[in-house]
Amino acid sequence: MKYGVIDVGGTGVKVSVYNESFRKVDYVKIQVPIVSSKEGVAEHDALEIRGAVIHTLKWLRERGVKLGGIATYRASILAWHRDGTPLTNVITWMDWRSRAVVSKPIYKVLGLVPPLGRILRADSPAVKIKWLLESTPGIKARVERGEAYVGTLSSYIAYLVSSRYINDASNEALTGLLHPGNFKRLWPVYDILGIPKAVDPEVVDNVSHIGSTDGVDVGVLIADQQASIVGSSCLSPQCLKVTGSTGVFVDAVTGELIMPGKPLIPLVVYRVRGEALYAVEGFASSGGSIVEWLVRAGFLDSVGDLDRLAYEARHGVVFIPSLSPISYPVVRGEATGLVYGLSHSTSKSDFARGALEGVVLIVASLADRVEKTAGRRELIRADGGLSNSTAYLKLLASACNRRVERVRGVDGTGRGVALLLAVYEGALKTRDLAGLGDVDLTVEPGALSLKVNVDVWRRALGWGSRVS
């Protein structure tokens, strides 16, 4: 049996074929760059995303794949016409223009109420929907008349393959418009934000018949980080899943729903046959994006150059890794990234190592926050593009003081979708998923130590302000 996986990510759309051993045997990626600006814009061209998804489904069919699944990046929204034509670009989770909503006095006050504080945030899809409806003339009226839909990227892709206004449980539970425990609508949030009741896609299981197109049945729809938890087989109380992709994400499965305090969020890992598995997550927006910035700025010749420079470094550099307003470990809307501690002896290698250590310290802080809620975990399973760097893995093991295992091929998301497709066709049960880990590298603490002064790094989080 061959499983087709489409992964809509921050840098484009990947499509892979997995064999019955859940190993990737074919792969292609369509680049779809994010359009960004210093005003907080971070959008994907929705027409390009639609074209890429349609192309990848045809690509799977041409390779004889009849069963596929889709993972998408999360907390990103758009509007589309009933015929499937996008009416806006995809407003991604990295877009900060929705701060205009939560900066209003009424929402500042309401955000002090604990349940609403988790929702009335600039990165909340509910708030982004409010901003989209206010900033795009005519959309709200068209939604209310039933001429258009507003929803997450996952809901839009589901519409493309099914012509139904639906969304999967893992993605819809993150909108702030649905209770993740009983999956009932939070109608008071609609009223507070002025969101039409018509923004109400049917919520379906993550493993279910989503639709069929181009001869490919789509049997899985899931958020990317939740798929990564499954693909890492990080489903036991001993395991902490860390993804280093565009951002960094730290997840711990809890079994039952826990409503954590800020800055953590509850996750529906998946819902299968009406039964949900839960986790808690901490995340920061800058991870692999920092490495890509180092390439664009000329500090690295390529992403593959990172390890060589990191191992050559001799001196510590304080680097606060944030390309947008700092949201973790502190919230500082007036400040972005910062570099401190340069001298005549500072080299390009020191700078690159400082950037990598900054990301690692963010991950270590997130791990500490997650474990205060979910309990101590004995090992870390790492995936995502950053995990191709052995320097990153060694620094992570030292900073977190525990063993780090790398998911084979570093693509936990794709593997997770393939595993869930096996559940869909009956080849696996959900109880089997925790025992199917596949790693290709293990790193113990102490293999590589941090050069930066951690106390100075923590103090630097409060320094400076945005200069442009």
Work out the end-to-end distance of the chain between its first and last CA atoms, rounded to an integer number of angstroms.
Answer: 53
* pLDDT, tens digit, 9 for 90 and up, residues 70-115: 999 999 999 999 999 999 999 999 898 999 999 999 999 999 888 8
Taking residue 118's Cβ as centre, other Cβ atoms within 10 Å add up to 19
pLDDT of residue 288: 84
160 inside domain: yes
132 inside domain: yes
pLDDT of residue 246: 84
pLDDT of residue 133: 97
CA nearest neighbour of 5 among 17, 22, 19: 17
358 inside domain: no
- Predicted TM-score (pTM) of the model is 0.94
349 inside domain: no
117 inside domain: yes
- CB neighbours of 112 closer than 8 A, spacing ≥ 6? none
Asked whether the bond before 263 is cis by omega within 30 degrees of 0, the reply is yes
127 inside domain: yes
What is the DSSP secondary-structure string of 208-247?
EEEEEETTEEEEEEEEHHHHHHHHTT--STTEEEEEESSS
pLDDT of residue 468: 52
327 inside domain: no
Q: Range of 54's domain?
A: 3-223
* pLDDT, tens digit, 9 for 90 and up, residues 163-210: 999 999 999 999 999 999 999 999 999 999 999 999 999 999 999 999
Measured CA to CA, the distance from residue 465 to residue 468 in angstroms comes to 9
Q: Which residues of the chain have pLDDT under 50?
A: none
Which CATH number fits the domain that encloses residue 182? Answer: 3.30.420.40
Taking residue 274's Cβ as centre, other Cβ atoms within 10 Å add up to 8
* pLDDT, tens digit, 9 for 90 and up, residues 186-197: 999 999 999 999
204 inside domain: yes
* Number of independent structural domains in the chain: 1
Measured CA to CA, the distance from residue 128 to residue 79 in angstroms comes to 11
